[in-house]
Amino acid sequence: MSGAVSQPGAASPHVPVLLDEVIAALDPKEGDIIVDATFGAGGYTRALLDCGATVHAFDRDPNAISEGRGWAEARLTPPRLVLHPRRFSEMVAALAEVGIARVDGIAMDIGVSSMQLDQPGRGFAFSADGPLDMRMSQEGESAADFLNTAGEGTIADVLYQYGEERQSRRVARAIVAARPLKTTGDLARVVRKALGHRAGDAKDPATRSFQAVRIHVNAELDELRHGLAAAEQLLRAGGKLAVVCFHSLEDRIVKQFLREASGQVAHGSRHLPQRTPPAALFEHVSRAIRPSPQEIARNPRARSSTLRFATRTALPARKEAA
């Protein structure tokens, strides 16, 4: 084992959820090459480095990469952390550029980080007023751009598909009527008025709409699908994949991917011909792992998290995963 790696100054602003379970699932050994697909504040990365692994960490948020460079390589001799300021869906090409075709493990922590949520200037949350932005990469179309220019039907579809908002048409109509929206407070007030909101309600009705717009602006579900396909291609035989999700849309994609990739499909019925199950590209697929009451007490944001993990077999990746 190598010496502990720590970030200087205050404790990390983002507490990695299910950390012990993720590290146990990856089972890193000294000299292993591990991908941290969602670097954030480096919580998983630091634990992997402590186990002696070399980590290739990805993040499209330039703030995360900049902060990571402030503590990483200066404390590792020889350097065992390579930071990639890219989307994790691009990990196959990025690693090929540095001569790596296979890795021993891949960790993914899907969704928005606490650092992004807690910075009003990033526009991810309505807990404090800020610009209506929500861009992880800080480039491209912002939430304000989308909400102020898209058609009412398009906005309603996004709210329904990505926020599971049953009254999406009512909310979309209210958004269009209130244009232009400039701040997170503007959007929250419009949604609350459209749906009705009383102080003390268990859940703010704006939550679903904020989730939906954020997922759309960052194409998060497509990114997840492409990232899982990249993991299938990159992992060596015996390599481990561990994915942490925070809502049902993400978890459904991961569950379905592992179900199909491990050959867990229906075998027909007495009315249909017997089907040959596909070859298993992953094995030892876990059940859904959720945080303990103790972890939730320490970190309430862990409450909705779910971990799934699996082991790569020796069979070649599917063509569509390339």
Entry pTM: 0.90
Predicted confidence (pLDDT) per residue in 279-303, tens digit: 899 999 999 999 999 999 999 989 9
Secondary structure element (H or E) that encloses residue 236, with its range: strand 235-245
Say if residue 124's pLDDT is above 70: yes
- The dihedral formed by the CA atoms of 205, 111, 224 and 51, expressed in degrees to the nearest 10: -150
- Residue 75 has a pLDDT of 60
Q: Are 82 and 57 in contact (CB under 8 A)?
A: yes
Distance between CA 117 and CA 129 in Å, rounded? 12
Buried b / exposed e along 283-321 (16+ C-beta atoms within 10 A):
eebeeebbbeeebbeebeebebbbbbbbbbbeeebeeeb
Band of the pLDDT at 79, cuts 50, 70, 90? confident
Asked if the model's pLDDT at residue 5 lies above 60, the reply is no
What digits encode the pLDDT tens for the residues 13-71? Answer: 567 999 999 999 999 999 999 999 999 989 999 999 999 999 999 999 999 998 888 77
Q: Is the pLDDT of residue 76 over 60?
A: no
- State the Cα–Cα distance between residues 257 and 224, nearest whole angstrom: 10
CA dihedral of residues 170, 176, 179, 181 (deg, nearest 10)? 60
- The span from the CA of 215 to the CA of 209, in Å, is 10
Averaged pLDDT of the chain: 89
What Å distances lie between residue 142 and 9, 190, 197, CA to CA? 32, 18, 26
Measure the CA–CA gap between 249 and 2, rounded to whole angstroms. Answer: 38
Which secondary structure element, helix H or strand E, spans residue 215, and what is its range?
Answer: helix 206-218
Angle at 229 between CA 316 and CA 250, to 5 degrees: 140
Q: pLDDT of 216-271, one tens digit each? A: 999 999 999 999 999 999 999 999 999 999 999 999 999 999 999 999 865 445 55
CA–CA separation, 314 vs 187, rounded Å?
49
> What is the pLDDT, as a whole number, of residue 197?
80
More confident call, 7 vs 49: 49
Here the tokens at position 239 are 């390599």
The whole-number pLDDT of residue 275 equals 57
Q: Residue 296: what pLDDT?
A: 96
pLDDT per position as a tens digit, 129-163: 999 999 999 999 999 999 999 999 999 999 999 99
Ordered by where they begin, the domains of the chain are 19-114+221-321 (3.40.50.150), 121-218 (1.10.150.170)
Give the span between the Cα atoms of 166 and 78, in whole angstroms: 53
- Position 119 confidence tier, pLDDT thresholds 50, 70, 90: confident
- d(C-alpha 311, C-alpha 139), whole Å: 35
Q: How far apart are CA 116 and CA 268, in angstroms?
A: 46
Residue 314 pLDDT exceeds 60: yes
- Using an 8 Å Cβ cutoff, are 173 and 159 in contact? no
* Confidence at residue 271, expressed as pLDDT on a 0 to 100 scale: 56
